[in-house]
Chain A
């Protein structure tokens, strides 16, 4: 009698640190697909932005599996020795970085460069954030890449200002203009 073969999806483990109101620096390893789309390895942010609600995390030396509700996480940071290309694949498409201060609902305040792929040249940070729903977006700091849960953001302070362009006659009272944010 021939037994059916189990089907295993090849994975590799990447250490991460989870942050939320309840999980302060919770360390574990997540599993990334080795046969991701586009014939390249899956990245941490792609894993986080999968549609599944619960994220399997291996914890401790025994690798006990914890299923973490991604929607409750404020942010995820890569563990030590994780290379940036395992975290985020920037690709060759148009993208922009904006300096931002991100204040999270768990009280954390992060300063860094918000990286966003561009769907159009005039895309603002507000346009990008308003498309995120419950997705994670990258915030690059000198020491790490924070993957921030957009739904856990309290506010984002931008470096740019709401400067109003002058009218044709230099009339500053002619009209107020939309914010750049």
Chain B
């Protein structure tokens, strides 16, 4: 029997603003100098059902991703397990996200820039059926773009970080884009 080595990351999966499941997602352990798979990469795999280990007995529940609103890494999840920030250019925007059920979430949207003049709308229009990170205080939420009804930009866009490596202010305290 061939097993793919995995590591478990605690998460809370929100199917709307009230229903949520706590459990562990399984991330690929990559070798050969590759970075370990992140939650955003796992969620953005082209597979609609994702296994979640729940409860003390580790029962497996297969979550249908199109119906997920957001995934929040749980206590103990490492920052590097959430998403990579290896983009050369990046920017953060303060936004309010309004979900399909009317619930809202405010935070900082971190986006890797494909071009310097990229707007939030350009970024979101590239996220069809994908998850993107929203940083709210000390928490990171991975938002399913297809569950979003609208996004309100709360402040004017800051200047694009032009320094090599795209360094900028990181709301979580680390170097962005490094």
Contacts and interface: CB of A to CB of B under 8 A. Distances in A.
Q: Do A and B come from one complex?
A: yes
Interface of A: 105, 122, 125-126, 129-130, 150-151, 153-163, 165, 175-181
A130 B61 contact: no
A155 B53 contact: no
Given A126-B49, A176-B5, 18 more contacts: A122-B2, A126-B47, A130-B49, A151-B66, A153-B49, A154-B15, A155-B21, A155-B63, A155-B64, A158-B62, A161-B58, A161-B59, A162-B58, A162-B60, A175-B5, A178-B3, A181-B51, A181-B60
Contact of A163 (B1, B47, B58): B58
Q: Which 10 A-B pairs rank lowest in CB-CB distance, beginning with the nearest?
A: A181-B60, A181-B51, A156-B62, A179-B51, A162-B58, A162-B53, A129-B49, A178-B4, A130-B47, A158-B60
Contacts, number: 83
B83 interface: no
17 contacts: A126-B49, A126-B50, A129-B49, A130-B47, A150-B48, A155-B62, A156-B61, A158-B60, A160-B60, A162-B58, A176-B7, A177-B4, A178-B3, A178-B4, A178-B6, A179-B51, A179-B53
A177 B59 contact: no
Contacts of B61: 155-158, 181
A73 B158 CA distance: 46
Contacts of B15: 154-155
A105 B67 contact: yes
Interface of B: 1-8, 15, 21, 26, 29, 47-51, 53, 57-64, 66-67
Given A126-B62, A154-B64, A157-B61, A177 B51 contact: no
A125 B62 CA distance: 9
A165 B63 contact: no
A179 B26 contact: yes
Interface class of chain A by DSSP: mixed
Interface class of chain B by DSSP: strand
A165 B3 contact: yes
Contacts of B48: 129-130, 150-151
Given A129-B48, A130-B49, A162-B53, A180 B60 contact: yes
Contacts of A181: 51, 60-62
Contacts of B49: 126, 129-130, 153, 156
A3 B58 CA distance: 69
A44 to B, nearest CB: 23
A158 B59 contact: yes
Given A154-B64, A158-B62, A126 B51 contact: yes
Contact of A154 (B50, B53, B58, B67): B67
Contacts of A130: 47-49
A91 B151 CA distance: 51
B6 A161 contact: no
Which of B49, B50, B66, B67 gathers most chain A CB within 10 Å?
B49
Contact of B8 (A153, A159, A176): A176
Which of B1, B4, B15, B58 gathers most chain A CB within 10 Å?
B58
A156 B26 CA distance: 17
Nearest to A128: B49
A133 to B, nearest CB: 8
